[in-house]
Amino acid sequence: LAVPYGPSGKMNLPGKSFPSGGHNPVHASIVSPGDKDFLLVANYNGPDDTRHDKGASVASFSITDDCQLHLASVVEHHGSSVDPARQNAAHVHFVTGGPKKSIYACDLGTDDIVVYTLGSEDGKLSETGRIKT
């Protein structure tokens, strides 16, 4: 799946542009935890040396039968880690589905893999844990 985005941080699909749920969307994946499909988006919030977290997030979008996207949930990431040149703020760079409705989001800025559950009907993301990397 390739979704181009513009300088405003909006995803640009043919004939339509809409917010990605954060700044600088860098990765997207599709998951199907039940009868519905959802698009997950990792919003990076660059550049690497930024000093604010605003815009670093994971977003979920429900996908309708006619392929329309509707924002279901946005979870902002906050924090930093040991390398001030690259980790003064959160930088979510990858998100994917796992077993039993689990979602994994890798955050370069905090050195965490954040674990979520995804509501199979509403697409709501709920944090269930963190793994330090």
DSSP code of residue 5: B
Mean pLDDT of 110-132: 96
Residue 133: per-residue pLDDT: 92
Mean pLDDT of 86-91: 89
Contacts of 32 (CB under 8 A, 6+ apart): 38
What is d(CA 88, CA 30) in angstroms, rounded to the nearest whole number?
A: 30
pLDDT digits (tens, 9 = 90+) for 50-68: 777 788 999 999 999 888 8
Mean pLDDT of 103-113: 96
CB atoms < 10 A from the CB of 97, how many? Answer: 18
Closest Cα to residue 80, out of 111, 56, 49, 57? Answer: 111
What pTM did the predictor assign?
0.86
Residue 51: per-residue pLDDT: 74
CA angle in degrees (0–180, nearest 5) for 89-54-40: 95
pLDDT of residue 75 exceeding 70 = yes
Residue 19: per-residue pLDDT: 86
Residue 84: per-residue pLDDT: 83
| Side-by-side strand order, sheet with 25-31 | 25-31, 37-43, 57-63, 69-76
